[in-house]
Copies of this chain bind each other. A is one copy, B any other.
Amino acid sequence: MTMSDYSKKQLQEEKVFKDPVHRYVHVRDQVIWDLVKTKEFQRLRRIKQLGTLYLAFHSAEHSRFNHSLGVYEIVRRMIENFEEYPEWDSNDRLLALSAALLHDLGHGPFSHTFEDIFHTDHEEYTKKIILEDTEVNEVLSRVSPEFPREVAEVINKTHPNKLVTSMISSQIDADRMDYLQRDSFYTGVSYGNFDMERILRVMRPSKDEVLIKESGMHAVEDYLMSRYQMYWQVYFHPVSRGGEVMLNLVMQRAKALYKSGYNFKQQPTYFIPFFNEDVTVHDYLRLDEMVVNFYLQEWVREEDEILSDLAGRFVNRDLFKYLPFDGSIITITELNELYKKAGIDPDYYVFSDSYSDLPYDYDRPGQNRNRRPIHLLRPNGEIKEISSQSAIINSITGIHRLGSRLYYPKEKILAIKDLSVKSEIINLLNELD
C-alpha cells in the first residue's frame, strides 16, 4: 500500500482530550484529528455507550464518542510499547489507530434492541459508513485509496493482519479494556477495575496476535474477573434490561401500526426506512438517540392506547416489574390466554427476556467460532493457552452463565376487573418467584 504524505502529517503541536479514565487522550496525527471532526464521528456523541443502563445507574450517561476516544488511546499506548519489538511493523500504526477510533462507528441508538427489531447490524453499517460517501470515507481515502477498505476489514476481523486485528478485537483487546474501566468509572461500581498499566506492560506483539508475558497472568485473571462481574452486576441489571424491553415493545407497536396503515399525528419519517427494512447509510446516520427520544415523546400523545402507554412508560421510566423465569412455553401460553380474557394484549404486555455470558473460551481443534485463545508467552519462548496455566481461569472457561426474567405491568394486572382471571394470573406469577 502506498501511503500519501497526508498519512504522515503531524499536528504542529500535540492535541489532547482531557479524559477522566485515561487522564489524557493524545493526538499527534492529522488523520486522527480529521476523523474526530467528521460529522459521522461527532454523531457518536448522540448515542449512549450503555443504552438504557442509565435507567438503573443514573450516572452512566456517557456516549460512544467518549468510549471511542478511549479505545484509540489504549491502542496508541500499546503501539508506543510495541515499537521496540521487531514483530511490530510501524507502517501499521495508522491502520490500528484509525480502526480503534472508528470501531463503533456503525452503532445506532439502543443498538441491542434496534438490531433485534429492525434487523440492522452495526458491523455492517460500520463498514458502509467507512466505504460509502461520508466525511469519514473522504478522510480515509486521502491516506490511500485502499485505506478505507483496510480499516473496515480490521474492524470486521477479515483483515489478513491478525496482530492489528487482535489489538481491537480479541478476548483481551483495547475495546474491552476501555469499556470495563469506563463503565465502572461512570456507574461508580468498583468491579471494572483491573491493572491495565500492568497488562500494557506485559503485552508483546507477535505475528498473529498480541501475546501476554507469563508474568502478567494474574493481571489477566483479574481482568477476566472484572469482565465477569461487570456483566452480572451491571450490564444485566434488571432495570436496564427492563428499559430495553420497553423500547422493544414500543418499537414493535409503532412498526405494526405503520404496517397496518395507522395515521400518525407526527409522521415517523426517520423510522419508515427501518419499518420497511430498507435503510440507506444516510437514513441510518440520522437516527440517533435524540431523534428516538423525540418520537417517543410524540407517541405519548398518539391516539393508539398501546403505543401511547408504552412510549410514556419509557419516557417517564415507569417500567414493567420482573420475576425470575425459566422461559417455559407453557407459562407463556397460559399467560397469553389469561391476558386475552382480561382484555390485555399479550404481544405488548408480557416479555420474556434472557441473557447469557461466556467470560472466556477458545476454539478447540476443529471448532471455528472465532474464539481465539489468550496466549501466554513463557520466558523460553513457549506459548501456552491461559486456562491451562490458571486454575481460576480454567474454572470459568467455556462456561456459559444464563439468566432470564419475565417482565409484566404489575399495576395493570392488579387493575383487572375479572377477579378470577386476575387471581389466576397472580398465582401464575407467584409461582415464578
- The residue from B57, B228, B288 contacting A18, defined by CB atoms under 8 A apart: B57
Neighbouring B residues of A197 by C-beta, 8 Å: 23-24
* Stretch from A91-99, A185-193, A303-311, A368-376 contacting the other chain: A185-193
Q: Are B189 and A18 within 8 A (Cβ)? A: yes
Given contacts A59-B66, A69-B58, whether A188 and B18 have CB atoms under 8 Å apart is: yes
Q: Give this chain's copy count.
A: 4
Which residues of A281-317 are within 8 A (CB) of B? 286, 288-291, 293-294, 297, 315-317
Which residues of A1-45 are within 8 A (CB) of B? 16-21, 23-24, 37, 39, 42, 45
Q: Are A54 and B45 within 8 A (Cβ)? A: yes
Interface residues on A, range: 35 or more
Q: How far is the CA of A61 from the CA of B63 in the complex (A)?
A: 8
Q: How far is the CA of A265 from the CA of B63 in the complex (A)?
A: 30
A410 within 8 A of B: no
* Stretch from A113-121, A244-252, A394-402 contacting the other chain: A394-402
A122 within 8 A of B: no
* Stretch from A137-145, A218-226, A271-279 contacting the other chain: A218-226
Neighbouring B residues of A69 by C-beta, 8 Å: 58
A322 within 8 A of B: no
Q: Are A188 and B19 within 8 A (Cβ)? A: yes
- The residue from B37, B201, B288 contacting A16, defined by CB atoms under 8 A apart: B201
Q: Are B19 and A59 within 8 A (Cβ)? A: yes
A161 within 8 A of B: no
Q: How far is the CA of A233 from the CA of B17 in the complex (A)?
A: 14
Neighbouring B residues of A201 by C-beta, 8 Å: 16
A419 within 8 A of B: no
Given contacts A59-B62, A392-B396, whether A297 and B291 have CB atoms under 8 Å apart is: yes
A65 within 8 A of B: yes
**A322 CB → nearest B CB, Å:** 14
Q: How far is the CA of A293 from the CA of B315 in the complex (A)?
A: 16
Q: How far is the CA of A315 from the CA of B58 in the complex (A)?
A: 25
**A362 CB → nearest B CB, Å:** 18
- The residue from B45, B186, B221, B391 contacting A20, defined by CB atoms under 8 A apart: B186
A258 within 8 A of B: no
A229 within 8 A of B: yes
A232 within 8 A of B: yes
Neighbouring B residues of A16 by C-beta, 8 Å: 201
- The residue from B59, B228, B286 contacting A392, defined by CB atoms under 8 A apart: B228
Please indicate which of the listed interface residues A17, A24, A222 has the most CB atoms of chain B within 10 Å of its own CB. A222
Q: Mark A56-86, 1 if CB is under 8 A from B, else 0.
A: 0111011101100100000000000000000
Measured CB to CB, the residues of A under 8 A from B are: 16-21, 23-24, 37, 39, 42, 45-46, 54, 57-59, 61-63, 65-66, 69, 185-191, 193-195, 197, 201, 218-219, 221-222, 225, 228-229, 232-233, 286, 288-291, 293-294, 297, 315-318, 391-392, 394-396, 399, 401
30 contacts between A and B (CB under 8 A): A18-B59, A18-B189, A20-B185, A20-B186, A23-B197, A24-B197, A37-B318, A42-B317, A45-B54, A45-B58, A45-B61, A46-B293, A58-B66, A59-B66, A61-B63, A190-B193, A190-B195, A190-B222, A191-B222, A193-B193, A221-B229, A222-B229, A286-B297, A288-B293, A289-B290, A290-B297, A294-B294, A391-B395, A391-B396, A391-B401
Leading 6 A-B pairs by shortest Cβ distance: A395-B395, A20-B188, A290-B293, A294-B294, A39-B316, A18-B188
